[in-house]
A and B are shown apart, each in its own frame.
Chain A
Amino acid sequence: MRLFRTIQLAFKSLLLHKLRSGLTMLGIVFGVFSVIAMLAIGEGASQQAQQQVLSLGATNIIIRSVKPPDDPAASQSSSGGRGGSVQRYGLTRADYKILEETIPNLTGSGLVPVRELNLEARRLGQVTSSRIVGCTADYLEMNHLAIAAGRFISDRDNFDMANTAVLAYGTAMSLFPIDNPIGQSIQIKGRAYRVVGVTQERTASAAVGGSLSGQDFNKDIYIPLSTLQSLLNSGDVFSRILPGSFSAESVIYNQITLQVSSIDVVERTAEVVRETLERTHDKKNDYDVVVPLELLRQAEQLRNIFNIVLGSVAGISLLVGGIGIMNIMLATVTERTREIGIRRALGARQRDIVNQFITETIALSGTGGLIGMAMGLSTPYVFAGGKWILKEFILDSSAAGSEMGKMFLGMEPVIAVWSLPVAFGFSVVTGLVFGVYPARAAAKLDPIEALRHT
């Protein structure tokens, strides 16, 4: 009851100077707001990273073929001055075999090899450039794709080298804008393929580091791996004629995905894989092992660093707000010396004066904290609004596609629930800490001098 009264009277004193109290409060408002907003941005980014990593499969180990940097010695020896070169690199059948035989802890799906090509697909008048993915039946599950209609590539298709194709949602939309693609045929490099299924739409995954750049699963066409390999000239060589030069590269598999039986053995197994490939590839840098679980760990570490950095920046703004409060409270004490004298004459102890001024300071900073919290809660909406304005009025599509634009448009702040009480608590503590000195200064005034003060 007494506390309630004290707080009520504190607000009365603060309301006496509305503008001053409001301005003083702003420091805390923005401090708390920025703490919550910063942490929300960090939390959003880390959740996105986690989702992306998890969509790669936490129990997966992904080995990708990487085109080694052009080594002059190597290219000379292979080109031989015949006007063209065939660059051989990446994962081979031997790799596949040795991995299949030696790596422990694999699940039933085991190893899923993939060969990818970027080619045009045609159907009647429609042409679209797609990523042709030669794969096996297990590809679907390992990449967390889902079938929207029909079926996926089956083991039987691979055995038969069947000319079947499964379209990703985006491809299906551009090749078959109106009619149902199932059962129809499309053409790739002059060969016809029967469409047997369509996968569900899926948002593109952003780059997660290593060689695994962002993947847009929506422009894929899946065909049996065996069919794709038979399509390539002389086995595995894919040739491309560019103006003024001829180049060909030979890659057996672009990617082999291993799925292990449990999360606990992922890192151990990945180590074995690395050692094995190091031996067979003789330290040639033509492959890369990506372990989503490791990326997840890295992402978590990164988030912690991110949170600490952003949190401290926001914390500094709280500190500055606190100093602002102290400054104003000191001025208030001077200005209200007479009032302090009156209260002391009427029986207020030093303790009562200290309590009064600390209560006022906390009321000020706490109110600021509440307002800041409300503003912080609106962060996601503010962001959504900002993005909308950016898209609609300010940026044309090319600017929105720039790195900065992408970064901003890609931000999805998520309020970290714990940040609300923490930020509010900080605002109260700020009031307490920065209120103590002015309050003690007020209490220490000599009542006689204070009463005489004009």
Chain B
Amino acid sequence: MKYAARLINLRKHYQLGDHEVQALRGVSLDIPEGDFLAIMGSSGSGKSTMLNLLGALDRPTSGQYLLRDRDVSEMTDDELSEARNSLIGFIFQSFNLIQQYTVLENIEVPLLYRSGTTSISAADRQKCLLLADRVGLTERLDHRPFQLSGGQQQRVAIARALVNDPTIILADEPTGNLDSATGEEIMRILTELHDEGRTIIMVTHEADVAANANRQIIMKDGVIASEGILPGNKRVRA
């Protein structure tokens, strides 16, 4: 089986004043390509730390994190940036669009930081337009984030996450700031992406949102407390 990401006995300790906080205490997890994984857990469970490590925003204290074939654990800051740019697509709870940019410019941002390429080609532009069309924003390419609804903003973020064809899509509470109808809409897009074969890791504390995934893990006290298919799971991948 090909893995999109593998976590091998991952530990993360923080120094907080005098005492050490063990945020992750040995997590091992295999994420095969095409997986749709939901990470659940209450606050303080190590969920956020896990997300930061998965997103290559941070390095583990010990253990290994393999993203595709690359070991993220020992990367320099620049290499981490490159990994985030080319291997990970972020979707945040609060959308995190750049306020002074238009929809199209926001979708293009990851292209600005590609290594090797110096400019945005016509093909790149075409791709951005296709992605905007895909999330239904063709009519609003010139709009700025404050002119969009929350759902529209999140769709821009999804298009942005896809622009560099990442290995994994990392969604942090993607529906947390949306009403349930809009949230369902966003979940539908994510499910479609999953159906296309993309690997999605989603952090959420809502069971019915997590139910969209085909696999759930529950974090507790820095370890994976339970793993499996929750009751009410609608989709099981063959």
Do A and B assemble together? yes
Q: Which residues of A contact B (CB under 8 A)?
A: 1-2, 5, 9, 12-13, 15-16, 338-339, 341-352, 447-448, 451
Q: Report the nearest A residue to B144, measured CB to CB.
A: A16
Query: Which B82-127 residues have a C-beta within 8 angstroms of A?
Result: 82, 84-86, 90, 92, 96-101, 105, 109-110, 112-114, 118-120
Q: Are B82 and A5 in contact (CB under 8 A)?
A: no
Contact A347 B99 (CB under 8 A): no
Chain B residues in contact with chain A, CB under 8 A?
Answer: 52, 55, 57-58, 77-78, 81-82, 84-86, 90, 92, 96-101, 105, 109-110, 112-114, 118-120, 160, 164
Give every chain A residue within 8 A of B82 (Cβ-Cβ).
347, 349
Cβ B99 vs Cβ A16 within 8 A = yes
Give the interface SS of chain A, mostly helix, strand, loop or mixed.
helix
A341 to B57, CA, bound (A): 10
A12, A349, A447: the one within 8 Å of B101 (CB)? A12
16 contacts between A and B (CB under 8 A): A5-B119, A5-B120, A12-B100, A16-B100, A339-B99, A343-B113, A345-B55, A345-B84, A345-B90, A347-B84, A347-B114, A347-B164, A350-B81, A351-B78, A352-B81, A448-B57
Query: Is the beta-carbon distance between A348 and B81 smaller than 8 angstroms?
Result: yes
Q: Which residues of B contact A344 (CB under 8 A)?
A: 57, 81, 84
Q: Which of B99, B100, B109 lies in contact with A343, CB distance below 8 A?
A: B109
| B residues less than 8 Å from A451 (CB atoms) | 57, 92, 96
**B126: shortest Cβ distance to chain A, in Å?**
17
A339–B96 CA distance with the chains assembled, in angstroms:
8
Q: In the complex, A341 Cα to B98 Cα: how many Å? A: 10
Q: Give the distance in Å from the alpha carbon of A351 to the alpha carbon of B52 in the complex.
A: 21
Q: What is the bound-complex CA distance between A348 and B52, given in angstroms? A: 16
Nearest CB in chain A: distance from B55 CB, A: 7
In the complex the two chains form, what is the Cα distance from A341 to B90 in whole Å?
Answer: 12
Closest to A13 in B: B100
Give chain B residues whose Cβ lies under 8 Å from the Cβ of A348: 81, 85, 112-113
Q: Give 7 closest A-B pairs by Cβ, nearest first.
A: A347-B85, A1-B119, A347-B113, A349-B81, A16-B100, A2-B118, A342-B96
Instruction: Report chain B residues within 8 Å CB of A447.
Output: 57
Contacts of B57 in A (CB 8 A): 344-345, 447-448, 451
When chains A and B are docked, how far (Å) is the Cα of A348 from the Cα of B55?
A: 14
A416 to B90, CA, bound (A): 55
The answer to whether A347 and B78 touch (CB under 8 A), given A5-B120, A12-B101, A342-B98, is no
Contact status of A346 and B78, CB under 8 A, knowing A16-B100, A448-B58 = no
Query: Which residue of chain B lies nearest to A342 when distances are taken between CB atoms in the complex?
Result: B96
Of A9, A338, A448, the contact of B96 (CB 8 Å cutoff): A338
Which residue of B has the minimal Cβ distance to A450?
Answer: B57
Measured between beta carbons, the chain A residues less than 8 angstroms from B58 are 448
State how many angstroms separate the Cβ of A295 from the closest Cβ of chain B: 60
The distance in angstroms between the C-alpha atoms of A1 and B98, with both chains bound, is: 22
Q: How far is the CB of B75 from chain A (nearest CB, A)?
A: 12
**Chain A proximity of B76: nearest CB distance (Å):** 10
Q: How far apart sit A125 and B164, CA to CA, in the bound complex (Å)?
A: 99
Given A343-B109, A350-B77, A447-B57; 17 other pairs, CB 8 A cutoff: A2-B118, A2-B119, A12-B101, A342-B98, A344-B57, A345-B84, A346-B85, A346-B110, A347-B84, A347-B85, A347-B113, A347-B114, A349-B77, A351-B78, A352-B81, A352-B112, A448-B58
